[in-house]
Amino acid sequence: MPLASFDVPTQVLLKRFALIYLPVVIVISLILLLGIHFDRQLHLETTEMGEEGRIDMEKERIMRDLGAVGTDLRVLAGLPVLRRYLDSANPARLDELGNIFLDIARETGRYDQIRYLDASGQEVVRINYNAGKPIIVPKEEMQNKSGRYYFSDTIELNQGEIFVSPLDLNIEHGELEMPYKPMLRYGTPVFDSSGRKKGIILLNYFGEILLQNFRNTSHGGSSHSMLLNRDGYWLSSGKREDEWGFMLGKTDLSFAHDFPDVWRSISSSEHGSVLTDHGLYVFTSVHPLTNAHYYSSTGSAQAYSQSQRDVMAHEYSWKIVSFVPSVVLSAAMSFNQPFSRALIVAMYMLLALASLVVAVAILRRKLAQQKIASLNMELNKQVEELAAGEESLSVTLRSIGDGVMATDAEARVTRLNAVAEKLTGWSQAEAFGRPVYEVFDIINRNTRLPVSLPVPATLTDGAMHGLVNDTVLIARDGSECPVADSCAPIHDRKGDIIGMVLVFRDVSKEYEARQAISDSATRIQTILNHVADGIITINDRGMVETYNRAAVRIFGYTAEEVVGHNVNMLMPEPYRGEHDSYIQRYRDTGEAHIVDTVRKAMGRHKSGITFPIELGIREMRLGDQLYFTGIIRDISIRK
């Protein structure tokens, strides 16, 4: 609709536009913000559940790998040939024992070394994995390990007890073995038939196998997993250079140092999650000491230093941490998808267009009313001042942009201006003296029934009257045109009514604007009907005003069954009986207990079945009227 087609100051138009557009935008924006909040919470819960499943698989794989090592150790410690050697100290038994160790090293492929050390710490039998080709180490190459913490911590144990070292890097000849070789040592003391402690069996388990299995299990997806020791140092990280800080003497090379706040939460709990500005951390704990017969110590990064203290089973723990970056979390949310954003922008643009059309229509009507009133005043003035000036009156009538028709006191046409001639199809000469009802033939646009002109009322009471809405003028040639008009009396100098003037105009464009507004409202309702959550608006008496399609699906009632009825029909007892009192208390005191909150509640289906819902309620005011908008989500699937 061209704005230049009528004289409206831009400031006035913008003010009217803002009065219409802003309240609607505020309500829609609140609904969208609530929807975004629900979507974010749902996505976080879904992501957290997925990551919990992932790290549980990683934990299960670690425990399965460690369980196999414990089983192998108990089998070796209980070998009959080992017992016979311990009883007899017969060197011939050592060859048989070495061959058995060799077979186990070859078949399992998970041990860097399998050793039997005597009570003095001297290696007696030692198998080296030798890059996949296990060998029995000659006697002259064997070492005394009495100064290493894992020997002293194991030899102190009782029969059946197992020592598990910290997962650290292997040290050979007093130096870290290069390239780094992660190692986990399992040891148990062995006894002869008389119960005398003779030494220990020690397995050097390839920690890299455990770590590689961990990485393989955690591979894939948009998150990455890390394995931390009890002090917050990386055992496995996405950056390999960050690992083993405690073995390298780099105290700042740890997760605990880089993320102290997150580490405090992780280290103080068995499992859980931490949400930060950087992303989501989901974690669980791994306890390698699986029962009361397992022991450990702090170990030592120095070749010949002893452990500082024993570590109890509940203290020996690793943390599996999965991290999902915030950018990944945000990108996966529904409202961050390009289509959703485009839909929101389109909705706001449609609202703006509809509001502009409504503002223009209102101002056009107001200006038209002012124009009609002004014209009526002008005509009365001109009739009084120019009663004798017929030509002047004709000139005036021809200058008016609306149709003007004058009659005498008997409602017979005395004058038509050019616009009236065009709209009625009657010329001044043809219409003169004819009854106004014949020239000005009008019907109702919807019913197609004749509409009575307010001529008799105007001539009787001397007041101005207007036509009812939806009036259509039928021209002489049968064409139709929607019109609006007013009928005012004509007075002579004495004040007597000598006729009446009918001012009318073509309102086709206003009808088009009204249809555009209706179409816009339909589009907006269509958008709301495609929202996944139920949206219900009630007034301050609890009566349902709007009810979208998602609500139909959730509760089973159609909109016709709900709109105009109390919303408590969708609630089970005791909520149904208490709901009206909640609204009344809020109206009386302004105290909000559930407004502006998201809570869990129960809904009642048309079938009578109750089910859990998540309910968010927002208050809004349109003028002096108070409304409440509820957004409902069926969470029975979550339950």
What is the DSSP track for 495-517? S-EEEEEEEEEE-HHHHHHHHHH
Pick the more confident residue, 222 or 121.
121
CA distance 483 to 506: 5
Q: What is the pTM of this model?
A: 0.51
Of the pLDDT bands very low, low, confident and very high (cuts 50, 70, 90), residue 4 is very low
pLDDT in tens, 269-307: 999 999 999 999 999 999 988 777 888 877 665 555 666
Position 140, amino acid: E
Share of the chain above pLDDT 70, in %: 89
Say which residues have a Cβ less than 8 Å from residue 29's Cβ, sequence separation at least 6: none
Architecture of the domain delimited by 532-634? 2-Layer Sandwich (3.30)
Helix axes of 10-77 and 207-218: crossing angle, nearest 10 degrees: 150
Helix axes of 10-77 and 91-108: crossing angle, nearest 10 degrees: 150
Listed residue (306, 357, 425) closest to 21, CA to CA:
357
DSSP string, 296-335: EE---SSTTPPPSSEE-TTT--EEEEEEEEHHHHHHTSGG
The two three-digit tokens of residue 302, written as one number: 């120095």
Asked whether residue 126 carries a pLDDT value surpassing 90, the answer given is: yes
Asked whether residue 373 carries a pLDDT value surpassing 60, the answer given is: yes
The strand pairing partners of 466, in sequence order, are 486
Of the pLDDT bands very low, low, confident and very high (cuts 50, 70, 90), residue 176 is confident
Asked whether residue 135 carries a pLDDT value surpassing 90, the answer given is: yes
**What residue spans define the domains of the chain?**
49-331, 362-510, 532-634
Asked whether residue 332 carries a pLDDT value surpassing 70, the answer given is: no
Asked whether residue 383 carries a pLDDT value surpassing 60, the answer given is: no
CA distance 632 to 485: 48
Asked whether residue 241 carries a pLDDT value surpassing 70, the answer given is: yes
Q: Is the dihedral of CA 575, 636, 526, 599 positive or negative?
A: positive
Instruction: Number of helices (H) and strands (E) in the chain: give both, helices first.
Output: 18, 28
Q: Specify the CATH number for 362-510; select among 3.20.20.70, 2.40.50.1070, 3.30.450.20, 3.30.300.30.
A: 3.30.450.20
Instruction: Write down the pLDDT at residue 302.
Output: 59
CB-based contact 614:598 (threshold 8 Å): yes
Of the pLDDT bands very low, low, confident and very high (cuts 50, 70, 90), residue 107 is very high
Instruction: Write down the pLDDT at residue 305.
Output: 65
Just give the CATH number of 49-331.
3.30.450.20
23-37, 56-70, 293-307: lowest mean pLDDT where? 293-307
Instruction: Write down the pLDDT at residue 379.
Output: 67
Establish how many alpha carbons lie within 13 A of residue 617's alpha carbon, considering only the half-sphere containing its beta carbon.
16
49-331 and 362-510 in the same fold: yes
pLDDT in tens, 461-518: 888 887 667 888 998 898 988 988 788 888 888 888 888 888 888 888 877 777 776 6
How many CB atoms within 10 Å of residue 373? 14
